[in-house]
């Protein structure tokens, strides 16, 4: 892990009721084109460098797969189904009982990334926001060709996850 790793400011984040569930809407600008961001969202080798899970296959086509949560030496397989894969603008898949929808739009020479993470319990929103914040903070330098190393699972606590969770709890009171 690089010593000068910068988490950056809190993302534009909100939580909305979604039927019997909740959706975290997490928005972050990245200074890279949508095609480059798309590859990082779908290619298993790239996902393994920034995401909280490893993917059993490329996510750029619909169908069943497995996403394996990685937490130190622990691995937890979760079923997943890619529902929509419209390169390079929309990727939507289930992740266990949750649903992730990644929207990519060109913006100011880069990409406006909008993640809509739908889940069951409202009080989990700050935890998810902190986790995705760390993931995207790792993704940005990775896309720039200057990787900092993956941060996931219990390793996140050594990189500001608790502080981020508390900050998002204040931002997303519920």
Say what the pLDDT of residue 49 is.
96
Give the tokens for residue 170: 């204040």
Say what the pLDDT of residue 147 is.
94
Give the three-class secondary structure for 57: coil
Phi and psi angles of residue 112, each rounded to the nearest 5 degrees, phi first: -95, 110
pLDDT at 42 over 80: yes
- CB atoms inside a 10 Å sphere around CB 22: 20
Q: What is the pLDDT of residues 70-127, one digit of tens each?
A: 998 999 999 999 999 999 999 999 999 999 999 999 999 999 999 999 999 999 999 9
Return d(Cα 41, Cα 94) in angstroms, integer: 14
- Averaged confidence pLDDT in the chain: 95
For 159, residues 6+ apart whose C-beta sits below 8 A from its C-beta are 1, 5, 7, 134, 151
The reported pTM is 0.95
Give the three-class secondary structure for 67: strand
How large is the average pLDDT for residues 52-60? 97
Domains of the chain from N-terminus onward: 12-171 (3.30.530.20)
Say what the pLDDT of residue 149 is.
92
pLDDT at 139 over 90: yes
Say what the pLDDT of residue 18 is.
92
CB environment 118-152: b (16+ within 10 A), e (fewer): bbeeeebbbbbbbbbbbbbbbbbbbbeeeebebbb
Q: What is the DSSP letter of 118?
A: E
Q: Which residue has the tokens 């998810």?
A: 128
């Amino acid at each position: 892990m690089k010593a000068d790793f910068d988490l950056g400011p809190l993302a534009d984040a909100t939580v909305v009721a979604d039927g019997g569930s909740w959706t975290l809407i997490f928005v972050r600008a990245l200074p890279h084109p949508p095609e480059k961001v798309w590859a990082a969202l779908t290619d298993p080798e790239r996902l393994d460098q920034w995401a909280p899970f490893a993917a059993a296959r490329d996510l750029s086509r619909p169908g069943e797969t497995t996403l394996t949560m990685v937490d130190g030496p622990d691995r937890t397989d979760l079923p997943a189904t890619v529902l929509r894969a419209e390169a390079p603008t929309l990727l939507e898949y289930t992740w266990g009982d949750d649903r992730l929808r990644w929207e990519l739009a060109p913006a100011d020479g880069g990409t406006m990334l909008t993640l809509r993470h739908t889940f069951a319990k409202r009080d989990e929103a700050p935890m998810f926001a902190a986790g995705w914040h760390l993931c995207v903070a790792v993704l940005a330098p990775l896309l720039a060709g200057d990787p900092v190393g993956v941060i996931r699972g219990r390793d996140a606590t050594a990189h500001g996850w608790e502080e981020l969770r508390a900050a998002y709890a204040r931002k997303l009171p519920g």
